[in-house]
């Protein structure tokens, strides 16, 4: 079993090392997802409205959190997850998906990266190839070797964090980072060379993560991140078997900011408010 459980405090230590802005109030860690706007660091942490003490900087903009069943809510937080993880195997996939994974296995192999130096020396060139293809803006300073090494050092501070490498002819060609927080497996980061991607590095990595997660009996799902609102990217995950969770949430915002957002930034407000199950079905599952 590759994943050792991280506590939320350990997870906070890791994310702080990656540069996240975090605040702990009472027993709750909050992340600033925008300046002065906070959500719980652990995205499945349910908090009852009226009992929550939010970070003081949130008074300038606001905060949002999932709520327990039956508690008042005025929005939704949408998470993309693999559910029913314990029943997964290659045989459960449709014929075309099985074919793609078996085809990838003819050219690629996956194993855990245990050596920090390999993650740095081999992984850095893979990250540069990934950035050159995608121009991915999140933490793009990692294209500079010093920033990449700092990130790698933080990753390897935590034995609970699992790094998988995808290899072609013995050469590292893709990297995946995952970890388990409480009872949720976070499939947190993936980057690949273009050549390996064409050979199926992403499909193969997803298969390995899901196959290994199936053996973790006390884990309840694999978290692939929040719903992005980019239909193409979101649907690529749904195509591979993910579902969208609609977590009822409580949203508190500065009234003036909320008024302006509703008037001038309708799209941004709709993304903040999230979607219920009916809206999700209409946007992502209609005609299927």
- Measured at the CA of 114, the angle between CA 165 and CA 90, to 5 degrees, comes to 40
Q: Where are the domains of the chain?
A: 5-77+245-285, 89-213
Cut 0.85: pTM above it: yes
Output phi, psi for 283, to 5 deg.
Answer: -85, -40
Q: What pLDDT sits at residue 264? A: 76
pLDDT tens by residue, 142-151: 899 999 999 9
Judge whether 21 and 32 are in contact, CB under 8 Å: yes
Q: What pLDDT sits at residue 286? A: 67
Instruction: Give CA–CA dist 123/148, Å, rounded.
Output: 9
Instruction: Give CA–CA dist 251/75, Å, rounded.
Output: 6
Confidence class for position 1, pLDDT limits 50, 70, 90: low
Residue 137: pLDDT over 80: no
Instruction: Give CA–CA dist 177/224, Å, rounded.
Output: 12
Confidence class for position 287, pLDDT limits 50, 70, 90: low
Instruction: Give CA–CA dist 173/211, Å, rounded.
Output: 21
pLDDT tens by residue, 159-176: 999 999 999 999 999 999
Q: For residues 219-237, give the mean pLDDT.
A: 89
The DSSP string of 229-280 is: S-HHHHHHHHHTT-EEEEEEEEEEE-HHHHHHHHHH-HHHHHHHH---HHHH
34: three-class secondary structure by DSSP: strand
Q: What pLDDT sits at residue 198? A: 95
42: three-class secondary structure by DSSP: coil
Q: What pLDDT sits at residue 42? A: 98
Residue 214: pLDDT over 90: yes
Give percent of the chain above pLDDT 90.
83
pLDDT tens by residue, 169-204: 999 999 999 999 999 999 999 999 999 999 999 999
Give percent of the chain above pLDDT 70.
98
Instruction: Give CA–CA dist 187/69, Å, rounded.
Output: 26
Q: Which fold, 89-213?
A: Aminopeptidase (3.40.630)
pLDDT tens by residue, 63-101: 999 999 999 999 999 999 999 999 999 999 999 999 999
Q: What pLDDT sits at residue 155? A: 97
Q: What pLDDT sits at residue 234? A: 86
**Termini Cα distance of the chain:** 36
Judge whether 65 and 47 are in contact, CB under 8 Å: yes
Residue 138: pLDDT over 80: no
More confident call, 50 vs 112: 112
Q: Which are the contacts of 231, defined by CB distance < 8 A and separation ≥ 6?
A: 283, 284
More confident call, 164 vs 262: 164
């Amino acid at each position: 079993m590759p994943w050792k459980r991280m506590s939320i405090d350990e997870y906070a230590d890791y994310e702080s090392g990656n540069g996240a802005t975090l605040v702990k109030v009472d027993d709750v860690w909050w992340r600033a997802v925008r300046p002065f706007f906070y959500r719980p660091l652990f995205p499945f942490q349910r908090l009852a409205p009226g009992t929550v003490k939010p970070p003081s900087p949130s008074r300038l903009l606001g905060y949002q959190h999932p709520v327990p069943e039956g508690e008042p809510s005025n929005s939704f937080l949408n998470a993309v997850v693999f559910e029913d993880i314990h029943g997964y195997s290659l045989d459960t996939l449709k014929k075309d998906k099985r074919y793609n994974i078996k085809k990838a296995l003819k050219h690629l192999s996956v194993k855990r990266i245990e050596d920090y130096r390999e993650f740095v020396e081999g992984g850095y060139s893979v990250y540069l190839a990934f950035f050159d293809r995608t121009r991915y803006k999140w933490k793009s300073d990692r294209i500079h070797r010093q920033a990449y090494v700092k990130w790698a050092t933080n990753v390897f501070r935590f034995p609970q964090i699992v790094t998988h490498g995808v290899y072609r002819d013995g050469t590292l060609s893709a990297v995946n980072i995952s970890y388990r927080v409480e009872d949720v497996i976070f499939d947190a980061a993936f980057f690949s060379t273009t050549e390996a991607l064409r050979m199926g590095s992403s499909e193969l990595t997803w298969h390995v993560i899901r196959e290994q997660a199936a053996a973790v009996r006390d884990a309840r799902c694999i978290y692939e991140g929040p719903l992005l609102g980019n239909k193409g990217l979101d649907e690529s995950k749904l195509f591979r078997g993910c579902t969208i969770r609609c977590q009822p949430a409580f949203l508190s915002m500065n009234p003036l900011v909320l008024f302006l957002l509703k008037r001038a930034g309708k799209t941004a407000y709709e993304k903040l408010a999230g979607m219920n199950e009916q809206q999700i079905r209409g946007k992502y599952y209609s005609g299927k």
